[in-house]
Chain A
Amino acid sequence: MGMNIAVPAVPAKKKKFTRQKGSWGLYLMLLPAVVLTAIFVYVPMSGLLMAFQDYKPSLGISKSPWVGLDQFKFLFEYPDSMQVIWNTLKISFLKLAIGMFSTLAFALLINEVKHKFLRTSVQTFVFLPHFISWVVLGGIFIQLLNPEYGLVNQLLKALGHEPVFFLGSNHWFVPIVLFTDAWKEFGYGSIIYLAALVGINPALYEAAQLDGANKLKQMLNITLPSLIPTICVMLTISLGGVLNAGFDQIFNLYNPLVYESGDIIDTFVFRIGLIGGNFSFGTAIGLFKSVVGLILILGGYRLAYKVADYKIF
């Protein structure tokens, strides 16, 4: 590495000195990360006190009046917030189930494609939506689903159906959210399973072939069981995210007409808390979400560790 600093053999005493000097450098290297984390993660945590106050921006956290658990009481009595929690759980669990099924099915099928060029080009196309923002995709789907000029409705009209205002209908909004989420992520999500598939011992397939097992049987009896540990890890880890139903996606697709079916905790906090200026109430909902989320994440990791011996750190 172009480092030709000739230093004579260092005696033991001096070596100790060098190490101490070096460790000072280590602290210096760690400093920016620690400072940034302290300011932008730990200082805001103290702002969580607002959840127990009736926060007034003019008074600040130190002088705003304390109200104890009133904000939380309000949260559980306010009909909108129960609807929002229910929407969040519903959308989240359905996304999880559909996402799991679509990524797994795609991984199993693309793994059977033997033609290398076909395989890589299909992957190039199906991974693409993952990298495009929901702002752009929101714009595209709003156009495609528009009742007057959207391509989907043009097709419906051509088939003799009435046009549907998909993104303005409480009946259609959640299915659209689920479908577009699956569309965006099924390709990219399959990577983790494809990585696991590489690790399967080929001798298993050879043996099965000798026994006369067809492709379907091989898939059911060898491939799928080999993926079970990965599936378990993915499921338990995603437990931690069940209160994240996808702020970016919903915010970029929804409008006041579908608040009833599409409003989730994060969009609700943004609208009521930040835009509405109701800082204490918004913080209380956010805190409720973070605490439940934390319990679920820790529970999920513990479960993943028990079930599949998975450790992240």
Chain B
Amino acid sequence: MRRTAQFSTFQLINNIIMVMLAVICILPFLHVLSVSLSSSAAVSANKVTFWPIGLNLNSYSRALEDTQLLRSLWISVERTLLSVTLGLTVTSMAAYVLSKGGGQKGIAGYKWFVGFFIVAMLFNGGMIPTYLVVTKMGLYNTIWALILPTMINVFNIILIMNFFKALPQELEEAAFIDGAGHWKVYLRVMLPLSLPVMATVGLFTVVGEWNEWLAGQIYMKPENAPMSTFLKAAISMPNIDIKNAEAAAKFNALSLNSAQIFIGALPILLIYPFLQKFFAKGIVIGAVKE
């Protein structure tokens, strides 16, 4: 460890600062996790800081008894899976076409299409007109209201397009000479080679869809709300168990709330190791320019 002879005081102090920053970033999570795992007596006595006291899983079993929470979890899973698969398909197809450019290799009207997407990236109708369009299409309270309006992200198209452009041309040309058409080149040559960028965009989509709550609030009835919307409602109106006469009822609600918060964040925490691996790559890919 002490490979460098000049292990200075600067480095020592710097390392301590860095560790402190890391700790500051996870302490809030640790506290809520501890509250969710502690006994209600310890919670109501304000004894819990960063370590559970009277470890038990009561809050979790109570949270999971709520059929609405389970339903919301399922809707979030469904929404996320559909968004990722459909979004990646549509986005990568568009990126493939746009990576060809105009002229002989690509499509006529290439510039017109680029303009079409760039304007869409820079300007939109805003919250209220979009809301009216979605509801008028009859998407209200269907899972498609959560998926379709945000499926095209122009930034992702640019990201994948730049990746396609950076792949060696010869591979494509060889496939064309072998008689493959564009669909075959896209499916058999480009997609298998673009796993890193697809994973990056896919993981970012998963995080975005899982965390998004506003569409769930304005387009869905409460019984069909996704997890983050359910959580938003549970947090702003902690469901205090009125029938429960014991004095600590409120603090049980606090513990329950903490458990709900953790269940809501859990999927992101579970995919975080994969995210970590890919996002740095993604940033580098995003920086690739002609």
> Which A residues have a C-beta under 8 Å from some C-beta of B?
1-3, 5-7, 10, 18-19, 21-23, 25-27, 29-30, 32-34, 36-37, 39-48, 50, 106, 109-110, 112-115, 118-119, 121-122, 124-129, 131-144, 149, 151, 154, 183, 187, 191-192, 195, 215-216, 247-248, 251-252, 266, 269-270, 273-274, 279, 282-283, 286-287, 289-290, 294, 297-298, 311-313
Contacts and interface: CB of A to CB of B under 8 A. Distances in A.
A48 B129 contact: yes
B64 interface: no
A32 to B, nearest CB: 5
A42 B120 contact: yes
A274 B275 CA distance: 35
A47 B132 contact: yes
Contact of A125 (B4, B25, B235): B25
Nearest to A117: B1
A42 B98 CA distance: 20
Contact of A29 (B93, B151, B180, B287): B93
Contacts of B141: none
Contacts of B133: 39-40, 43-44, 47
B278 to A, nearest CB: 12
Contacts of A149: 46, 251, 254
B128 A283 contact: yes
A77 to B, nearest CB: 21
Contact of B183 (A5, A25, A141, A286): A25
B175 interface: yes
The 10 closest A-B pairs by CB, nearest first: A47-B129, A44-B125, A133-B211, A286-B126, A33-B94, A7-B179, A125-B22, A44-B129, A29-B93, A139-B235
B167 interface: no
Interface string B1-33: 100100010110011011101111110110110
A25 to B, nearest CB: 4
B234 to A, nearest CB: 8
B97 A135 contact: no
A311 B178 CA distance: 37
Given A41-B124, A122-B21, A154-B46, A30 B175 contact: no
Nearest to B258: A143
B186 A29 contact: yes
B90 interface: yes
B132 to A, nearest CB: 6
B122 interface: yes
Interface string B256-276: 011011001100100010011
B117 interface: yes
For A47, A135, A137, the residue with the greatest tally of chain B CB atoms inside 10 Å of its CB is A135
Interface stretch (B52-60, B77-85, B100-108): B100-108
A46 to B, nearest CB: 8
Given A1-B189, A191-B283, 4 more contacts: A129-B25, A187-B21, A216-B10, A287-B126
B245 interface: no
Contacts of A192: 283
Q: Is the interface of B mostly helix, strand, loop or mixed?
A: helix
Contact of B128 (A132, A273, A294, A297): A273
Contacts of B126: 44, 48, 269, 283, 286-287, 289-290
A42 B180 CA distance: 35
Contacts of B175: 1, 3
Given A30-B94, A311-B289, A139 B22 contact: no
A35 B257 CA distance: 42
A120 B125 CA distance: 42
26 contacts: A2-B188, A3-B175, A3-B178, A5-B178, A26-B97, A29-B96, A29-B186, A30-B113, A33-B117, A33-B152, A34-B113, A40-B134, A40-B150, A44-B126, A47-B129, A109-B14, A128-B26, A131-B268, A195-B283, A269-B126, A269-B127, A274-B128, A274-B131, A294-B122, A297-B122, A313-B118
Nearest to A281: B128
A207 B223 CA distance: 66
Q: Is the interface of A mostly helix, strand, loop or mixed?
A: helix
A248 B215 CA distance: 12
Nearest to B107: A26
A140 B207 contact: no
B97 A29 contact: yes
Given A5-B180, A26-B107, A109 B123 contact: no
B28 A141 contact: yes
A126 B25 contact: yes
B128 to A, nearest CB: 5
Contacts of B218: 274
A279 B199 CA distance: 40
B242 interface: no
Contacts of B113: 30, 34
Contacts of B90: 32-33, 36
B210 A133 contact: yes
A132 B265 contact: yes
A6 B279 CA distance: 40
Contacts of B11: 112-114
A216 B126 CA distance: 47
Given A40-B130, A47-B125, A50-B129, A109 B17 contact: yes
